[in-house]
Amino acid sequence: MSVAPILLSVEGLTKSYGGVHAVRGVSFELRAGEILALIGPNGAGKSTCFDMLNGQNVPDSGRINLLGEDTAGKKPRAIWRLGVGRTFQITATFPTMTVRENIQVALVSYGRQLFNLWRSTPGFAKAEAGRLLDLVGMGAYAERPCGELAYGDLKRLELAVALANQPKLLLMDEPTAGMAPRERIELMRLTARIAKEQSIGVLFTEHDMDVVFEHADRIIVLNRGLLIAEGLPEQVRNDPQVRAVYLGGGLMYDARHHEGAAT
Amino acid sequence: MRASRYYFLGAGLAIALSGMANSAMAQSEIKIGEINSYSLLPAFTDPYRKGWQLAVEEINAAGGIGGKKLVVVSKDDGGKPADAQTAANELVSSENVAMLTGTFLSNIGLAVSDFAKEKKVFFLAAEPLTDAITWAKGNRYTFRLRPSNYMQAAMLVEEAAKLPAKRWATIAPNYEYGQSAVAVFKKLMSEKRPDIVWVDEQWPPQGKIDAGPVVQAVAAANPEAILNVTFGADLVKLVREGNTRGLFKDRSVVSFLTGEPEYLDPLKDETPEGWIVTGYPWYSIKTPEHDAFLKAYQAKYNDYPRLGSIVGYETIKSAAAILTKAGSTDPEKLIAAAEGIAVPSPFGEISFRKIDHQSTLGAFVGKTALKDGKGIMVDTSYRKGADYLPSDAEVEKLRPKE
Amino acid sequence: MAFYVVQFLTGLASAASLFLVASGLSIIFGVTRIVNFAHGAFYMLGAYVAFTLTERFSGALGFWGGMVVAALVVAAVGVLVEMVLLRRIYHSPELFQLLATFGLTLMVEDLVVLIWGPNDLLGRRAPGLKGAVDFFGQNIPSYDLFLIVLGPVVLGILWLLFQRTRWGILVRAATQDRDMVAALGVNQKWLFTSVFAVGVFLAALGGALQIPRDAVNHAMDLRIIVDVFVVVVIGGLGSIIGAFVAAVLVSELNAFGILIFPKISIILVFLVMAAVLIVRPWGLFGKQEAAARRTPGLTVNPWRPLTSGERLAAMVALIVAAALPLVGGNYALTVGSEVAIFVIFAASLHFLMSVGGLASFGHAAYFGLGAYGVALLAKMAGLPMIVCLLLGPLLGCVGAAVFGFFAVQLSGVYFAMLTLAFAQIVWSIAFQWVAVTGGDNGILGVWPEKWVSSASHFYWLSLGVAALVVAALRVMVFSPFGFALRATRDSPLRSEAIGINGKRIQWTAFVIAGTAAGIAGALFAYLKGSVFPDNLGISLSVDALVMVLLGGVETVSGAVVGAIVYKALNIWLVSQTDLSKLVLGGFIVLIVVAFPKGIVGVLETIRNRRRSASSKSALVTSRIETAE
């Protein structure tokens, strides 16, 4: 894995809101095909950090090198154009369109056809849309109105949308939030499989420690805006600082039953 | 999409069929098409309608027009020029009317007048005051009954020029009527009284006057006399604020149209005294023509007439006279008949001038006063329209060549 | 100096009545999200009822008691309206309630004339406050002083109500987050009803208080409604203090503005609003609105292009429509042309409003610009008709490009109000620039050339252009651009995250819609042979909104059907009765109740239900509460 190229490198990322330091000098790297989990208790700065990576927030200082470009302060759409797919904590899809059309819009954008006033979208890149839907196991739902989908299916649809621009990197904000336990495992297995097959780097935040320790190749831990630990799951699990932060020293993966309540 | 087309078709068919049914009417009647802002301005158009209905009744009782029954087909324009044109089109195309009459607002009068010119239809404008309808935008198909802006201004200037006041301020609604009323008044006044200075002008939006600040602003300029052109609800607000704030105290006020019952009556016991106004003092006109009209009107409606009643009545009376004289519904013959025709009216005989198609109907000038908690006009005198029009040479210059 | 103090106080008195009415509107909107077009009608009713009561019961008690009782009576009417009408349509598409309240307003305008007669009514002066107080030689009406005190008192009472009572806290919570209140287990029905009652009470009281200053008449509602909306938006939706500050700001700017520019009143509020919204997109005291959540339980029929059978049917229908000259006379053809033109106009707004999710309250601006473009080219440049028709709409296009750029920076009601402000600014230019536009006397003599001067030829021209424009817009709906536009409407977050520049997409849509409206306006100028400022006016903008809503805002062809039904009915009613507003308003209210998704929307729902009675849709559980 160490031979894989670096997709994302973050150096000294800092952000504060009116005197409150949300993120303080965070640095880390992510390589192709690697699945990196970003964890930490509420208020640790995960979301702020995540938002700066995907362009929804501008860092005060620090550098974000994404696929060879400095993206600090760039808009989400510009970051997406570099080859970054993303999913949201609460799914963001287009409820008035069919499942396939959701994918097709992304494909239209990827093909730079957004200002095309003539072509028919329902016939646009149908095969590619079908391939993406099949990939996430949603092929049978192609004609369904997106607004009628169950939540787990929406999450899978979102993953397919995120893959439409053939990304090199996926940013997933709490990919399994709000899902049933079995669905969580399935979705993460699917994600991991696609990541490995296509050599896509994945950065995700997550509250469910089962998911984290089961699927992450590496973990970074934030607390009060500082990066307090980084390493393989075993290392992080046994890190005393991490244990101290999480539930006053209790084994965090034993605390899984509380996770839902903590969100 | 599919459903939509059917609706389209259905609506079209319905309209087409109703049109055909109407055109199959008997040939024993002559139709006049009438358009006015009935729903927007009921306070003015209700008495107007009563006036023309009375005229229709009288005409038919006297045997109609050349033995044919006179029928007036009346349409509402909702106060919109575009809707007035739709109505005009319906009257001409579906109802096959011999001529168009009516309209109150100046821009609607102009819209219908332009329609008349394009479609070659005779149009007798009843109430619009704008000078443009007979002068700058006049055309050979359009005639107008009511004394124009210019004429009303000239009547008022005659009295205003006698006032000692030198410092004048104006208050007028901010649209064409108000603007041209002020412009004409200023021009004629300055001709007669070069010593006058205009110290302030206020242009509240029509129907939306914020009377307090306007009154205050005029008072601050400290004029000796004020010209008012506002009317309707604006006038009420202006008068109330002006009375409370003492604006009219020791100041002369000259006011367009305020003596018309339509505008004077709502003021009730707050009517300011001593304003020089044009209007219609129906209670103090003692002529046989007017007595006859007043009696007939009160008998039919158990109500007193407003100026609109006179205008409505005289519009249809004039139209009937023109139709009778022409002996035809051909627009060219109607124009020939109308030019110079003399018609009796409750205000005495009037005529339609050949040169600009303006009637010589006049107006009463007098002063406002309070009597039994109601506003009236006193010291009134009738001013014949013919005496307050510019020379023929000037009119020739104003009217476009055809 | 004394003069300026008095002018300031006079401005404050004007502000007081504006604030009363505006605060009611603001509260109603904040909680129920209803754009209550009927607020002006309640204001007017308050004045009429108070007039009757104060005439009947004399004395101080009769007067002041009459005012309060009048406001209570009208509030009761408001409650009735809320329970009988509005409750049925809270779950309808956004802005659909506007249609209902618009219908009500039309009805009330005719009803007051039927009940109280057509004449302006002069009410009593307030007992004890008839005169004026001398202030260094300037007179201040004592009633003004009363109003100046009353404004802040009402503000204070409302503030206490919102801060100190459980009801007030609920109202504030609901203003911030409607779903939260539902989650708290509050009886939302009665909360809405009570809020509506309070709002209407304030409006009616504002109307009643005008009695000593104004003439009670049937146009009072329209005189105030737009100004009140503007005040609410300048202050920030849902903010009572904002409404107060905005009312004072607008009134004082007017009071002092007329000293320098006596003609400023006609446009002042709109200039202020445009300036405020460009600098502060959520008004002076407003907060950024949380992204509108879709009404729960509302499933949208996905849009699909016409099947080949439907395409054929549309062609047949078009051919049948084109055969109208065989059966119809001149009038039918002219009405047909007008309907076709309004189909274009409504379809253009539909593109912006339904496809783009941008409800413009000032769409007539681009219609009117197209009309003026044609009129100016034809009359001043003397260009041939075909050139005018091609170039005229460009004025609409340019106007849309300029105003659209600023407007798409906003969303929701703020977008709507900024478009309204721009439209009013354009209107006032057309109204005031007499040398070029002829002012309100308009531009006359814009008649078509010989080759289309006959009614049938012009009808074919209008029908042909309408078919082309509607077809083109429909193609665009299903084009990649149309999907990008819908994507931006559905989820700004997701569309940005897949590389869509939402603002640019919306701006482009605005320009397309403005150009199409301009085409309609260009044809309209030739149909009528003249152009007037009301071609740019608010009532035309409202007409377009009504057409789109009537047809069904969530359908593709709703605008076409809505335009045909509304325009044909309107022309017919105006021709048949002087009470056209009463009948039309009643019809709209009925439609609202019978077709809560618009005409086409309900037809589609019925069809879909038949088609897929078997396939039960999965439960939508899209709202997951998270604290992060």
Mean pLDDT confidence for C370-377: 96
Does B87 touch chain C if contact means CB atoms closer than 8 Å? yes
Query: Which amino acid is residue C614, in one-letter code?
Result: S
Which chain B residues contact residue C595 at CB under 8 A? none
pLDDT bin (cut points 50, 70, 90) of residue C361 is very high
Mean pLDDT confidence for B265-289: 96
Q: Do C444 and B4 lie within an 8 Å CB cutoff?
A: no
Which of the other chains make 3 or more beta carbon contacts under 8 angstroms with chain A? Answer: C
In angstroms, rounded to a whole number, what is the distance separating the alpha carbons of residues B392 and A102? 76
In angstroms, rounded to a whole number, what is the distance separating the alpha carbons of residues A189 and A202? 13
In this prediction, residue C545 carries a pLDDT of 92
Which of the other chains make 3 or more beta carbon contacts under 8 angstroms with chain B? Answer: C
pLDDT bin (cut points 50, 70, 90) of residue C184 is low
Which chain C residues contact residue B11 at CB under 8 A? 339, 564-565, 568
pLDDT digits (tens, 9 = 90+) for C482-526: 999 999 999 999 999 999 999 999 999 999 999 999 999 999 999
Residues of chain C with CATH 1.10.3470: 2-290, 323-578
pLDDT bin (cut points 50, 70, 90) of residue C605 is confident
In this prediction, residue B24 carries a pLDDT of 42
Query: Which amino acid is residue B63, in one-letter code?
Result: G
Does A155 touch chain C if contact means CB atoms closer than 8 Å? no
Which chain B residues contact residue C561 at CB under 8 A? 3-4, 7
pLDDT digits (tens, 9 = 90+) for C86-142: 988 887 776 888 889 999 999 999 999 999 999 999 999 999 888 888 888 888 999
Torsion of CA B348, B352, B357, B363, to 10 degrees: -10
pLDDT digits (tens, 9 = 90+) for B171-195: 999 988 999 999 999 999 999 999 9
In chain B, the N- to C-terminal Cα span, in Å, equals 48
- Whether B7 has a pLDDT exceeding 50, the answer reads no
pLDDT digits (tens, 9 = 90+) for C288-336: 765 554 443 345 667 888 888 989 999 999 999 999 999 988 999 999 9
- Whether C603 has a pLDDT exceeding 90, the answer reads no
Handedness of CA C283, C286, C287, C289 (dihedral sign): negative
Name the nearest CA neighbour of C37 among C178, C212, C222, C169. C222
pLDDT digits (tens, 9 = 90+) for B148-166: 999 999 999 999 999 999 9
In this prediction, residue C181 carries a pLDDT of 66
In angstroms, rounded to a whole number, what is the distance separating the alpha carbons of residues B172 and B129? 15
In chain A, the N- to C-terminal Cα span, in Å, equals 33
Residues 433-462 of C with CB under 8 A from A: none
pLDDT bin (cut points 50, 70, 90) of residue C616 is very low
- Write down the number of H helices and E strands in chain A: 10, 10
Class of CATH domain A6-91+168-232: alpha beta
Does C578 touch chain A if contact means CB atoms closer than 8 Å? no
* Ranges of H-type helices in C433-454: 434-437
pLDDT bin (cut points 50, 70, 90) of residue A2 is low
Which chain C residues contact residue B13 at CB under 8 A? 324, 327-328
pLDDT bin (cut points 50, 70, 90) of residue B260 is very high
Q: Which residue has the tokens 């404008």?
A: B125
B243: closest chain C residue by CA: C131
C504: closest chain A residue by CA: A115
Q: Where are the domains of chain A?
A: 6-91+168-232
In this prediction, residue C619 carries a pLDDT of 34
Question: Are B128 and B150 within 8 A, CB to CB?
Answer: no
pLDDT digits (tens, 9 = 90+) for B338-377: 999 999 999 999 999 999 999 999 999 999 999 999 999 9
Query: Which amino acid is residue C387, in one-letter code?
Result: V
Mean pLDDT confidence for C371-397: 95
Q: Which residue has the tokens 């989650």?
A: C183
Full DSSP string of C121-158? EEPPPPTT-SSEEEETTEEEEHHHHHHHHHHHHHHHHH
In angstroms, rounded to a whole number, what is the distance separating the alpha carbons of residues A201 and A185? 19
Which chain C residues contact residue A154 at CB under 8 A? 622
Mean pLDDT confidence for C578-597: 88
Those residues whose C-beta lies under 8 Å from the C-beta of residue C282, and which sit 6 or more positions away, are: C236, C237, C288, C289, C414
Chains A and B touch (3+ CB pairs under 8 A): no
Question: Are C204 and C75 within 8 A, CB to CB?
Answer: yes
pLDDT greater at residue C198 or residue C601: C198
In angstroms, rounded to a whole number, what is the distance separating the alpha carbons of residues C425 and C266? 9
Q: Do C259 and B15 lie within an 8 Å CB cutoff?
A: no
Q: Do A115 and C508 lie within an 8 Å CB cutoff?
A: yes
Residue B42, strand partner residues = none
Residues 85-124 of C with CB under 8 A from A: none
DSSP C377: I
pLDDT digits (tens, 9 = 90+) for A52-91: 999 989 999 999 999 889 998 899 999 999 999 999 988 8
Which chain C residues contact residue A164 at CB under 8 A? 498
Query: For chain C, what percent of residues have pLDDT higher than 70?
Result: 93
Does B267 touch chain C if contact means CB atoms closer than 8 Å? yes
Handedness of CA A212, A218, A223, A229 (dihedral sign): positive
Query: How do beta strands C121-122 and C215-216 pair?
Result: antiparallel
Q: How far is A193 from chain C (nearest CA, A)?
A: 23
Query: Which amino acid is residue C564, in one-letter code?
Result: I
Does A195 touch chain C if contact means CB atoms closer than 8 Å? no
Element (H or E) spanning B167, and its range?
Answer: strand B167-171
Question: Residue B179, CB half-sphere, CA atoms under 13 Å: how many?
Answer: 17
pLDDT digits (tens, 9 = 90+) for C185-205: 667 788 889 999 999 999 999
In chain C, the N- to C-terminal Cα span, in Å, equals 57
In this prediction, residue C611 carries a pLDDT of 67
Full DSSP string of C339-369? HHHHHHHHHHHHIIIIIS----S-THHHHHH
DSSP C285: S
A77: closest chain C residue by CA: C499
pLDDT bin (cut points 50, 70, 90) of residue A257 is very low
- Whether B22 has a pLDDT exceeding 90, the answer reads no
Which chain C residues contact residue B37 at CB under 8 A? none
Would you state the structure tokens that stand for residue C119, as one six-digit string? Answer: 């004449």
- Whether C626 has a pLDDT exceeding 90, the answer reads no
pLDDT digits (tens, 9 = 90+) for C220-249: 998 898 889 889 989 988 889 999 999 999
ipTM (interface predicted TM): 0.90
In this prediction, residue B241 carries a pLDDT of 94
- Whether B5 has a pLDDT exceeding 60, the answer reads no
Which of the other chains make 3 or more beta carbon contacts under 8 angstroms with chain C? Answer: A, B
Does C255 touch chain B if contact means CB atoms closer than 8 Å? yes
Query: For chain A, what percent of residues have pLDDT higher than 70?
Result: 92
Q: How far is C94 from chain A (nearest CA, A)?
A: 15
Those residues whose C-beta lies under 8 Å from the C-beta of residue B216, and which sit 6 or more positions away, are: B245, C3, C6, C7, C10, C138, C255
Domain C2-290, what fold? ABC transporter involved in vitamin B12 uptake, BtuC (1.10.3470)
Residue A98, strand partner residues = A145
Q: Do C622 and A108 lie within an 8 Å CB cutoff?
A: no
Would you state the structure tokens that stand for residue B339, as one six-digit string? Answer: 């030019």
* 3-class SS letters over A126-167: HHHHHHHHHHCCCHHHCCCEHHHCCHHHHHHHHHHHHCCCCC
In angstroms, rounded to a whole number, what is the distance separating the alpha carbons of residues B293 and C389? 52
Helix (H, G, I), strand (E, B) or coil at C46: helix
pLDDT greater at residue C67 or residue A4: C67
pLDDT greater at residue C628 or residue C146: C146
Q: How far is C331 from chain B (nearest CA, A)?
A: 5
In angstroms, rounded to a whole number, what is the distance separating the alpha carbons of residues B203 and B206? 9
Q: Do C143 and B267 lie within an 8 Å CB cutoff?
A: no
CATH fit for domain C323-578, picks 1.20.120, 1.10.3470, 2.40.128, 2.60.40: 1.10.3470
* B vs C: CB pairs below 8 A: 282
pLDDT bin (cut points 50, 70, 90) of residue B81 is very high
Q: Do B85 and C310 lie within an 8 Å CB cutoff?
A: no
In this prediction, residue B121 carries a pLDDT of 97
Does A105 touch chain C if contact means CB atoms closer than 8 Å? yes
In this prediction, residue C301 carries a pLDDT of 67
Compute the 3-state secondary structure of chain C and give helix, strand, coil in percent, each to the nearest 5.
75, 5, 25
In this prediction, residue A77 carries a pLDDT of 94
Name the nearest CA neighbour of B240 among A64, C66, C435, C126. C126
Helix (H, G, I), strand (E, B) or coil at B399: coil
Question: Are A34 and A217 within 8 A, CB to CB?
Answer: yes
In this prediction, residue B328 carries a pLDDT of 92
Residue B32, strand partner residues = B72, B99
Does A109 touch chain C if contact means CB atoms closer than 8 Å? yes
Residue B142, strand partner residues = B123
**Which range (A224-238, C70-84, C293-307, C409-423) has the least confidence?**
C293-307
Name the nearest CA neighbour of C248 among C4, C1, C22. C22
pLDDT greater at residue C339 or residue B10: C339
Which chain B residues contact residue C321 at CB under 8 A? 5, 8-9, 12
Question: Are A7 and A170 within 8 A, CB to CB?
Answer: no
Does C253 touch chain B if contact means CB atoms closer than 8 Å? no
Query: How do beta strands A35-39 and A218-223 pair?
Result: parallel
Q: Do A124 and C482 lie within an 8 Å CB cutoff?
A: no
Mean pLDDT of chain C: 89
Which chain C residues contact residue A132 at CB under 8 A? none
Q: What is the pTM of this model?
A: 0.90
Query: How do beta strands B350-351 and B99-102 pair?
Result: unpaired
In this prediction, residue A72 carries a pLDDT of 87
Those residues whose C-beta lies under 8 Å from the C-beta of residue A55, and which sit 6 or more positions away, are: A71, A74, A75, A76, A77, A78, A79
Those residues whose C-beta lies under 8 Å from the C-beta of residue C92, and which sit 6 or more positions away, are: C295, C592, C596, C597
Does A71 touch chain C if contact means CB atoms closer than 8 Å? no
Q: Do B232 and C442 lie within an 8 Å CB cutoff?
A: no
Which chain A residues contact residue C475 at CB under 8 A? 117-118
